[in-house]
Amino acid sequence: MDQRVIDLYDEYTHKPLARRTFLKRLAALTGGMGAALATLPLLQASKAAAAQVEENDSRLHTETVTFKGATGDVRGYLVKPAKKKGSLPGVVVIHENRGLNPHIQDVARRVALGGYVALAPDFLSPLGGTPQDEDAAREMIGKLDPAQTVQNAVAAVKALRDRSDTTDRIGAMGFCWGGGLIGRLAEADPTLNAGVVYYGVAPDLEKVPDIKAALLMHYAGLDERINAGVPAFREALDKAGKQYQVFIYDGVNHAFNNDTSAARYDANAAKLAWTRTMEFFGKHLTG
């Protein structure tokens, strides 16, 4: 697919670009409105895409939970191995700007199969929860109070650590909007043990010295918007003597891990990043 089309969609999904303007520009790139409308499903996440781990997988126990956050009750999707005895480390899974959708629930199930108790909070809970319409979800994300959202993430870490089936070792991982929240969570919560960023914006550089967690960061080589902030973030981390790793996956786009988005998903990069993520959690949460 023409990279200009993917870049335009990234602009539409992350900046205040009106849908009518987006479609007009997409039509200009694809040769007409008919072609634009035919291209759109390849760019958007497909709810029909098969999950890597089925909802009713017998190896897992899933449930809907709530925990107290800065804005009141926050709903979440909790997954853990069905047959493992004893306490396990926990991982908070933070969604993209589409909210807590089936794809992120699937990611939480993948994490749980790795031997963790996974909690995927719905950060749109203060506004009534994640809607079915992803455009509506993106608009709602923009209405969240940033400071309260960070405190809800801190509360998610605490809620997971306070469970009787978890150890005191808690990590967090986030994608896109959620990847950006990981850095702010690490700055706000000195108890976080490990954080994994998937193509998220850099946090407040002045607060980088507050980070205690080890960080692992995955970036897409073609993601100019996000990558513009990476050098300064790395410089701040180096200056503060923080423990981190950065991997840049050449030739792939923002959201390369999201297998429900055909145009941007890259199976090889996603597999490699996932392997590195599980090794990282293994080292810092179970090692």
- Domain ranges, ordered by start, for the chain: 3-43, 60-286
Q: How many CB atoms lie within 10 A of CB 57?
A: 16
pLDDT tens digits, 225-253: 999 999 999 999 999 999 999 999 999 99
Q: In what order do the strands lie in the sheet with 117-121?
A: 60-69, 72-81, 117-121, 88-94, 166-175, 194-198, 214-220, 244-249
Statement: the pTM of the whole predicted model exceeds 0.85: yes
Q: Which CATH superfamily is domain 60-286 in?
A: Alpha/Beta hydrolase fold, catalytic domain (3.40.50.1820)
Distance of CA 95 to the CA centre of its chain: 4
Instruction: Give the pairing of strands 72-81 and 117-121.
Output: antiparallel
pLDDT digits (tens, 9 = 90+) for 92-143: 999 999 999 999 999 999 999 999 999 999 999 999 999 999 889 999 999 9
Q: What is the pLDDT of residue 74?
A: 98
Strand partners, 196: 173, 216
